[in-house]
Chain A
Amino acid sequence: MVRFAAAFAIVAAGLLPAAVLAARTAPAPDPAALVRAALEAPRHVSYVGQLQTIRWGTRVASATIQRVEHLAPSSTRRTFLAPEALYGEYDITLGTTTTKIDPKQHRAMVSENPSSDNAVEMNTSIALLIANYRAVIGPVEVVAARPATTVSLVNRYTGERMMRLWIDNATKVVLAKEAYHQDGSLAWRSRFDEIRFTGEIPNGVFSTTIPPDFQQVEGRRFADINDDLQSSFDDAGFKPENPRYLPDGFRIIGAENSIFRGLHNLHILYSDGIRTLSLFENNSDAEPDFGGVKPSVTHFAGHDAEYVKDGPTMLLTWRDRGLAFALIGDLDLTKLTEIAVSVAP
C-alpha cells in the first residue's frame, strides 16, 4: 500500500508541471469572439443578481441599485432598491414590450420598442463594435465572487480605451462594465454586487398584470429604428438635413418619426458600436423647452446655440433656416459643435 502511494506521488509529481505547462500554453481566447459571446450570453443564460450603476457628472455622481431577474432569452425584471425615492419601482421587459410599475403613485406605463429584441440589429451592433474597437484581453479579476476576464475596448481611431468589460469565465455574462470619457475619466460603471445563475425564477416575477386601481399611462410605441431610412425622411414633412461630418467610426443606424405637442420630430440615430449620437429635427423653428433648467449658450458658424449636460450626456440645440435641431450624445461640446456645423444646410 505504501509502495502504491509512493508510486502515485511520483507519477503525480511528474504530471503536475505538464499540467501547469498545458494551462499556460492553452490558446488565448480570441478577444473579438469573447466580446461577441458576452453580448449574446443573455440570450441563453438566466440569472438573478443585484446590479449597481454609478454615473459620474463633472463634479458629483448618482447611483442606483437594482435587483435584476433575467430569464433567457428575453424576459427581464429590474426592481429599484436604491435610491430611496425609487425604491420598489420596477420594470418588466418581455421581448419588445416594457411595463414600468410605480407602486407608490399607483401608475403603470407600457411601451413598445421593436429594436430592443432584434437579433439582426444585435448582429449589426456587434459588427460595428468590432469594426471600430480593438478588444484587448487583460488579467482575470474577481467580480461578485466569480472569476472574470477583463477586456478593454480600444477605439481604433483615437487609441483611447472607451470601455472595459468583466466577462464571467464560465457563462460569458458581463458582470461589470466601465465606460470612459474621451479624456480617460470614468463616465459610468455598472457592476453586479452578487449574481446567481439559475433558471428557477417563479413565473409571477414576470407578471405584467396591472392592478385595477393603477392608472395606466400610454408609453411610447417606437417604430422599428431600422426601417427604411428614406421613408422616415419622407414622412418627416420637411426636407431633413444630415451632418456631413461624423467622428471616426460613427455611422447612421436608423431613423424614426415621433410627435410631441403636435410637432413632427425626425430622430436620426448614429453609433460607433459603443457610443450613440442622436440628431433631432423639426420644422417648428421654435426654441426647445428646457423647463426649469437654464441652458448655457454657445455660438458657432453664425448660430446661437444652447446646451445642457446630464451626467455624461450632452444636449446641444440650435435653429437654422426654419428648422430646429438637437444633438445628444456622450461626446464633448467640441465634437458636438463640429457635427452641428456640418449639419447646416
Chain B
Amino acid sequence: MHYNADTLDDYLHRALGPEPDADIHAHLETCTDCRALYDELAAVRDWVRTAARAEELEFPSIIKARVWERIREQPLQPSFADRLRALWRPMIAVPVAAVIAGFVYLGIPGVHGGSQSPGVAATYLLEEHAALASDNPLADRGLIVPASVVDGGQASGLIGADDSAPSSER
C-alpha cells in the first residue's frame, strides 16, 4: 500500500488528524517509495518557502502617513509664532530666505518643470482594496477601517495610529 501525493502533502502540512498522522509516520519509516515521494514534496515546500523568504523585505507601514497627517494638522502654538518673529534678524533671515527659495524652486510644480502634482493617495487605494476585499467571506475582518482613521470620506490608514506601539508594520 502506498499513499498518494495529496495525502502526503496533508501529512507534511500537519493537516491530518492524530490517527492518520501516526499511521503515515509509521509507514514512512518502512516504505522507501512513499519516503521518496514525501522527501520530494518536502523539498518543493522548502524551495517555495525559501524563494518567498528571499523576497521578503522590511518596509514602513502606510499608517505612518496618517500619523504625519495628524501631526501636521495640529494647530501651531501662538508662542511658537512669537519665537519665530524674535528670530527674524538679518543674520538668520538671509540664509533662511535662501533655503526657502531653494525649496520653492525644487518643490513647486511648474517652477522648474521637473516634478508633477501628486496623484492618488496610497492610503485611498489601500482602503478601496480593503473595502472590496472584505466582501470575500474569508476576508481578514481586521482590514475594516475604523471611523477615527477616516478623514473627510477618504481613508487614511488601515488601523488607527497609536504611537505607544511600533507603527511601522501596522
A interface, CB within 8 angstroms of B: 39, 51, 53-55, 57-62, 64, 66, 78, 80, 83-86, 89, 91, 100-102, 104-105, 107-109, 111, 113, 115-116, 118, 121-122, 125-126, 129, 134, 136-139, 150, 152, 154, 158-161, 163-165, 177, 179, 181-184, 187-188, 190, 217-220, 222, 225, 254, 256, 258, 260-261, 263, 265, 267, 269, 271, 273-274, 276, 278, 280, 282, 284-296, 307-313, 315, 317, 324, 326, 328-329, 332-334
Contacts and interface: CB of A to CB of B under 8 A. Distances in A.
Given A55-B170, A86-B159, A188-B142, 5 more contacts: A105-B147, A219-B150, A291-B121, A315-B62, A315-B125
A210 B149 CA distance: 18
A278 B48 contact: no
B169 to A, nearest CB: 3
B147 A108 contact: yes
A159 B15 CA distance: 12
A285 B164 CA distance: 38
Nearest to A225: B132
23 contacts: A51-B141, A57-B169, A59-B58, A60-B168, A100-B150, A113-B132, A129-B138, A139-B16, A158-B48, A159-B44, A160-B13, A181-B52, A182-B49, A183-B53, A184-B45, A188-B142, A258-B128, A288-B120, A288-B125, A291-B64, A311-B158, A313-B126, A333-B57
Nearest to A317: B122
Given A184-B49, A188-B142, A278-B129, A86 B148 contact: yes
A62 B129 contact: no
A289 B66 CA distance: 12
A334 B51 CA distance: 9
Contacts of A274: 136, 138
Contacts of B66: 291
B90 interface: no
A109 B148 CA distance: 10
B49 A328 contact: no
In the A-B complex, the 4 residue pairs with the closest CB atoms: A57-B169, A291-B65, A292-B68, A286-B119
Contacts of A289: 118-122
A330 B110 CA distance: 37
A147 to B, nearest CB: 13
Nearest to A41: B137
Given A294-B60, A333-B57, A286 B117 contact: yes
Contacts of B146: 80, 86, 89, 91, 100, 102
Contacts of A58: 56-59, 169
A51 B140 CA distance: 12
Contact of A296 (B15, B45, B57, B170): B57
Contact of B140 (A86, A121, A188): A188
Interface in B2-40: 6, 9-10, 13, 15-18
B37 to A, nearest CB: 12
B120 A324 contact: yes
B75 interface: no
Nearest to B139: A276
Given A116-B135, A291-B69, A310-B61, A161 B122 contact: no
Contacts of B135: 113, 115-116, 118, 121, 125, 225
Contact of B132 (A267, A284, A333): A267
A101 B45 CA distance: 45
The listed residue with most A CB atoms (<10 A of its CB), out of B41, B53, B148, is B148
A136 to B, nearest CB: 5
A187 B17 CA distance: 24
A163 B138 contact: yes
B128 A278 contact: yes
